[in-house]
Structure 1
Amino acid sequence: MTDDVAVGSSTGPFTGDPPRRPIHRAWIVAGVTLAGLVAAAAFRSSTGVLLEPVEQEFGWSRTTTSGAVSLNLVLYGLTAPFAAALMERFGIRRIVTVSLIAVGLASAATTLMTSAWHLWVLWGFVIGIGTGSMALVFGAIVANRWFVSHRGLVTGIFSAANATGQLVFLPAIAYAATQHGWRSAALVVAGLALLVSVLVALLLPDRPSDRGLLPYGATAESEREASEARVAAASRPVTSPGRTAVAVLGRVSRTWTFWALVLTFWVCGWSTNGLIQTHFIPAAHDHGMGTQTAAGLLALVGIFDIAGTIASGWLTDRVDSRVLLAIYYGGRGLSLLAIDAVLAPDVQPGLWVFIVFYGLDWVATVPPTVALCRQHFGLADSGIVFGWVFASHMVGAGVGASIAGWVRTSSGSYSSAWLLASGLCFASVVVALSIPRRRDTSTFPPEVASSHSA
């Protein structure tokens, strides 16, 4: 039995949606990719559970432990464009397998640490780079390579993996840490990462052509164009992945579209990870709400995030991505104007509306942002371009978290922080709509793509 339909089969040289099997290999690849993204998210969700027991055992301050987490966040974002270049050069399977093994071994090694610098090296440096190599650029590259039909939907599913990882594994990690100590929780994460690394090594081909297949929904004509693009790219001088990532940045930074995507995604990071994820619980506590209640509400944001991101992916296949971004940022700005009014000691109906909306909108911006990178910069460079855009997201998150903390310390209230973030979201509406309309150049050869995106 063959994998789907191979080259030279009776149904033709290639097929994007073969009749012989109901499931195209692309969907198996998508499942393995989702497992890798969930494994990375599992570690990222474990840090909040493990911080306090680690501090209690070693006597380290919150400054020491949070500094390691901050290093992790910075490297998580900055690794993305270089990881995309490495995937283009050495293949997705190799890079993701090595990254998962690094995360697994580093998580296991934390059980042996004795000094604070061990924490910084393992949590901050190794796991920061490892999880950064499996950030959203990983899912974006897989979706672009393996799917023509339903690209937006698949990108939405991948984008929801972070929330899925937190929802599925955070209770297990918290239980293990409470009942058996933080080392057992670290070993749970290590085992998960190493298990998924085996799945990736066995079941994740780099490209459909490696199995004699077309991307899902592709045609023979579009595949010939894509093959010409790959041949042209292969004929170019070989450069290091780092130089490739910087070279792509140099090219795209001369366009307004790139900076518009950077600015809007910077605001996305500010208003989600930086502001709400970091400060919602203490802000709710300022209004008299219990910490456990606030934490439960934040977990519900993750639940609605899954539905919202998948729905956004579905819409991205059908609606102008610029319009979607304008709607998402505009709605987020309005909700931030209302947050002070809905926070109270008890959960009021208005707060439920905020939680549901913010959850649906949390990373709904990812599928249309990925689509715009592909449409304007072509399939060959879109993964690296999105890596740089994603880096701006994490920088925005760090800046937003710091400024909101400074506002709370200096004024005793988060009110100005909500207003500032709301204003940035409204500005993002204008920026998103200023992006020029472009055809999707994902299946064009490089020289054709360049003429469409110039």
Structure 2
Amino acid sequence: MKKLRSMVKQLKYPGWTVFFLSFSNLIVEGGAKNTESVFYLALKNGFKTGATVTSLVFSLGGLFGAITSPLLGRLLDNLGPKKFFVLAGIVIIIGWQLSSYAPNIWYLYIFYSFIAAVGHTSISSFTAMATLSPWFPATRGTVLGLADAGNPLGQAIFTPLSQALVLGLGWRWSFRIIGLIFFTLVFPLNLFLQKPAPKELDETDESTIDGELINSGHSFKAHKIQSVWWMIGARGFLSISNQMIRLHILAFFVLSGYDQMNAATAVGMIGVVSVLGRPSLGYLSDKLGREIMFTLGIGLQLIAISVLILTNNMNNLLPILLYVAFSGLTDGIGGLILSAKAGDIYPRVYLGEILGLVEIGRGLGIAIGPILGGILFDLNGDYLLAFTIAMILSLVSIGCSWMIRFSHYSKLTPVS
């Protein structure tokens, strides 16, 4: 009976409400990010524009997300999660609805690439992690991993839904309907259910020391902290690597001789595996340590890519299955583990600002990685050099993750 009362008490813990809201926000972020391939083709055909002009709509969205993320992080710290996410829902629906009425594609560079992209960035993983992290200091990695599973779930839900809507109603009505669904998942839920973090959970054992340093009379400036820059480096190099591979992996499979339908199905399965992989990553990072799990996870990715590059038998499905398994189990490792690490070592009141800066790395990766991979392919006629460079960048990311730990024991050490 006592054990039952304890379980009921845990379920009533308000942190689980914040968890649910973070999960819901990340479903929207995953849906917005992964429907772009569907809308890319619809916009290209609808406006009769070329690939470069059309893809620029989404590339600019990543760039604007990188530029605005530090400002959004600071705004989250200043407004608090309730007001911040309510505003995010409003921005999202404005961006999507205006985009649906665009008379030509140039209008989308404002309506979608800027307005909608700011809304997407506002409910992305870094704001979810900054909001959720203080509620579960003892099991931060596990809970963040569970919440982050909302991202691939959004992919699984909204990618086929958007495709069905485009085929049935056209892209304009698809934008209106998808935008309204996103608004419904963000605005009312956060308006009525979102909670501020209780003061007694603000600090962990590690971050308390940092908090004392911050409150010693020095003005806090996240961009002057060494460990923050190592975190940006880890996120950025890994993001470039991931984007170099992710956009081109299907073309690589087909070029290597795999059946196109089998390859596309396999790539789609990565999101399904990731629903289980992300919570597992978070749990193991709580047990083994953030840096160790970061290293092991990226190591699995490197093994999978190496097998693909070195295999000569294209009738063998083992390489593609290994890629799906290892990539799915470690998908999203950068944002998840680095966010958990930030929650470990920085006070809650600055998490939004710090993770907003770290998000710059992800945004730059989205902008640089696909283009760099395409250029290297055009120069060489294959993906060997592109994927090799991507693997090297992943190794650099591992090095940066360890430097977070060894940068004066991860304390808030100013850049000299």
TM-score range, shorter chain: 0.7 to 0.9
Aligned to 2:14: 25
Once the two structures are TM-superposed, the CA of residue 344 in structure 1 deviates from its matched residue by 6.6
Once the two structures are TM-superposed, the CA of residue 279 in structure 1 deviates from its matched residue by 0.5
CA distance in 1, matches of 2:204, 2:21: 25
Spell out, residue by residue over 1:105-151, the C-alpha distance to the aligned partner (whole angstroms, 9 max, x if none).
22122221102221111110101111111121211112223222321
Letter in 1 for 2:221: V
Letter in 1 for 2:191: A
Aligned to 2:362: 393
Letter in 2 for 1:147: F
Q: State yes or no: 1:271 paired with 2:241.
A: yes
Could you say what secondary structure the match of 1:318 adopts?
A: helix
Identity of aligned residues (%): 17
Distance 1:158 1:390, change over 3 A: farther
CA distance in 2, matches of 1:183, 1:126: 17
- Retained in 1: the 8 A contact 2:235–2:362? yes
Q: State yes or no: 1:373 paired with 2:342.
A: yes
Spell out, residue by residue over 1:313-333, the C-alpha distance to the aligned partner (whole angstroms, 9 max, x if none).
112222221212222233322
Letter in 1 for 2:222: L
Letter in 2 for 1:149: A
Distance 1:359 1:127, change over 3 A: same
- Retained in 1: the 8 A contact 2:44–2:50? yes
Letter in 1 for 2:244: L
* Greater alpha carbon shift after TM alignment, 393-402 vs 406-415: 393-402
Aligned to 1:203: 193
CA distance in 1, matches of 2:33, 2:316: 28
Distance 1:22 1:370, change over 3 A: closer
1:55 pairs with one of 44, 64, 67 = 44
- Retained in 1: the 8 A contact 2:236–2:364? yes
Letter in 2 for 1:375: D
Q: State yes or no: 1:383 paired with 2:372.
A: no
Aligned to 1:360: 329
For structure 2, the residue ranges without an aligned partner over 5 or more in a row are 1-5
The structure richer in helix per residue is: 2
Distance 1:248 1:182, change over 3 A: same
Once the two structures are TM-superposed, the CA of residue 28 in structure 1 deviates from its matched residue by 1.6
Letter in 2 for 1:203: L
- Retained in 2: the 8 A contact 1:328–1:365? no
Spell out, residue by residue over 1:26-56, the C-alpha distance to the aligned partner (whole angstroms, 9 max, x if none).
1122112211221132222222112222222
- Retained in 1: the 8 A contact 2:88–2:122? yes
Aligned to 1:260: 230
Q: State yes or no: 1:77 paired with 2:77.
A: no
CA distance in 2, matches of 1:345, 1:122: 44
Distance 1:178 1:291, change over 3 A: farther
Q: Detail structure 1 runs of 4+ shifted over 4 Å in the superposition.
A: 17-21, 342-347, 437-441
Alignment of 1:232-381 (within 5 A): 248-252=221-225, 255=226, 257-272=227-242, 274-342=243-311, 348-381=317-350
Could you say what secondary structure the match of 2:296 adopts?
A: helix
Letter in 2 for 1:312: L
Aligned to 2:3: none
* Greater alpha carbon shift after TM alignment, 127-136 vs 394-403: 394-403
Could you say what secondary structure the match of 2:283 adopts?
A: helix
- Retained in 1: the 8 A contact 2:31–2:158? yes
For structure 1, the residue ranges without an aligned partner over 5 or more in a row are 1-16, 238-243, 442-448
* Greater alpha carbon shift after TM alignment, 67-76 vs 323-332: 323-332
TM-score (norm 2): 0.87
Distance 1:428 1:439, change over 3 A: closer
Spell out, residue by residue over 1:186-231, the C-alpha distance to the aligned partner (whole angstroms, 9 max, x if none).
122112122121111111122236xxxx65xx9xx979x98xx79x
- Retained in 2: the 8 A contact 1:76–1:135? no
- Retained in 2: the 8 A contact 1:156–1:366? no
* Greater alpha carbon shift after TM alignment, 331-340 vs 106-115: 331-340
